[in-house]
Chains A and B, each alone.
Chain A
Amino acid sequence: MNAYMPYVLCLVLFCIGIFAILSKKNIIKIILGIIIAEYAVNLFLVMVAYKAGGRAAIFSPNRGEILPEVMVDPLPHALVLTSIVIGLATTAFMIALAIRLYGKYGTFDITRMRELRG
């Protein structure tokens, strides 16, 4: 059971994010929930890349000190690196929308934005 603990905690983090997205009424808290869920996914990708006792995927300038076989997987790391930056840009976009909504309705509470309801 202990071996699965990191994955379970990652799932718990993701569920916290989903809970915030679904149950909160303040739009800023919803955005925070999206960020938490996003980082849980990033964490999961990094954990998939990890292997027991692995080294960073960077060779030593003195060749032969670090062999390819002891490295962690570089591909998910590359994905996560770009995903973090894209996440920052989309967060900025969401916050810009929240600012516009606040300017229109004078509140961050989504239940008071009546005209948005279909």
Chain B
Amino acid sequence: MIRTLFVLLVLLVLAAAATSVIPHLKMRTELDGAGLEYARRGLEDTGSINLVTAVIVAYRGLDTLGEVVVLFSAATSVMLILSLFPLGRGPTDPSFIVAHTARVLPAPIMLLAVYFTTHSHLSPGGGFPGGTIMASAFLLVMLGSSSTPAGSKILPALEALSGTTFGLLGLWGTMTLGQFLNNRVIGIGNPGYLVSAGIIPLVSLAIGVKVASEFSGIFAAFRKSGGNR
């Protein structure tokens, strides 16, 4: 039982390290540091009333571009690993309930995803959750049919298009104002309205389409390799 002892030892070390740290943690009573700066200046700087989106897309836009690259490499490796040697006998027929649900639900799910993605500067949401919800609609359509949906052929093109859009919107700022992903290349408009906050809605839309096409590609790759041996 050396294995169990080792596991207990690791957990004990973890707990001991944590007991020295936890007493120093206190629930914050006021906003300070970078968070306070973002909260005070975010609305004037970016025109986005949702400050989380302002941080993701405007202040930390370059980091978000890096995250999108991580997502792209993960999706590409999943497709590569699963497509090298096809395993199973492919997709099986859906059950009655799944087949009928897949005819009704994708439209409202897609509507929710479009709302999340386009209203990212106004309400909770943004490109990442919106894109994931879009991919879930695609997953439902795929589960409801016994073949891969015809739309999956254009997924790589959509992915490339949205990634390029993100990069070009960033470069637009570099060329006109000398700063990558500068939000003020178009006016920030009247905060609180749908058409406002500069390029934040456009970048959110690009992120949403990219995330949706990547996850749809992952689901399609799993679907193609599915089934038993």
| Interface residues in chain A, defined as those with a beta carbon under 8 Å from any beta carbon in chain B | 3-4, 7-8, 11, 14-15, 18-19, 22-23, 47-52, 54, 56-61, 68-69, 71-75, 77-78, 81-82, 84-86, 88-90, 92-93, 95-97, 99-100, 103, 106
Query: Which one of A71, A85, A92, A93 contacts B39 once the chains associate, using CB atoms below 8 Å?
Result: A71
| 4 extra A-B contacts, CB within 8 A, seeds A4-B23, A52-B29, A90-B74 | A11-B14, A81-B52, A86-B67, A89-B214
| Interface residues in chain B, defined as those with a beta carbon under 8 Å from any beta carbon in chain A | 3-4, 6-7, 10-11, 14-15, 18, 22-23, 25-31, 33-36, 38-40, 42-43, 49-52, 54-56, 60, 64, 67, 70-71, 74-75, 77-78, 81-82, 85, 87, 122-124, 126, 128-129, 131-132, 191-192, 211, 214-215, 218, 221-222, 225, 229
On chain B, the residues within 8 Å of A69 by CB distance are 30-31, 36, 39
Q: Is the CB of B71 within 8 A of A86?
A: yes
Q: Is the CB of A93 within 8 A of B15?
A: no
Known A19-B7, A89-B74; contact A75-B35, beta-carbon cutoff 8 A: yes
On chain B, the residues within 8 Å of A73 by CB distance are 28, 31, 33, 35, 39
Query: Which one of A50, A61, A81 contacts B128 once the chains associate, using CB atoms below 8 Å?
Result: A81
Pick 24 A–B contacts, CB within 8 A, sort by A: A3-B27, A8-B22, A18-B10, A23-B7, A47-B27, A52-B29, A57-B51, A59-B51, A59-B192, A60-B49, A74-B52, A78-B60, A81-B52, A81-B129, A82-B64, A82-B128, A86-B74, A89-B74, A89-B218, A92-B215, A92-B218, A93-B77, A96-B221, A96-B222
On chain A, the residues within 8 Å of B10 by CB distance are 18, 22
Known A3-B27, A77-B52; contact A89-B71, beta-carbon cutoff 8 A: yes
Q: Is the CB of A68 within 8 A of B31?
A: yes
Q: Is the CB of A49 within 8 A of B35?
A: yes
- Closest chain-B Cβ to A100's Cβ sits at a distance in Å of 6
Known A57-B50, A58-B50, A68-B39; contact A88-B31, beta-carbon cutoff 8 A: no
A interface secondary structure, majority = helix
A71 to B22, CA, bound (A): 24
Q: Is the CB of A51 within 8 A of B31?
A: yes
Q: Is the CB of B71 within 8 A of A15?
A: no
On chain B, the residues within 8 Å of A100 by CB distance are 81-82
Which of A15, A54, A78, A88 lies at the interface centre, i.e. has the most chain B CB atoms within 10 A of its CB? A78
On chain A, the residues within 8 Å of B31 by CB distance are 51, 54, 68-69, 71-73
A11 to B19, CA, bound (A): 10
Closest chain B residue to A97 by CB distance?
Answer: B81
Known A78-B60, A82-B67, A93-B78; contact A68-B26, beta-carbon cutoff 8 A: no
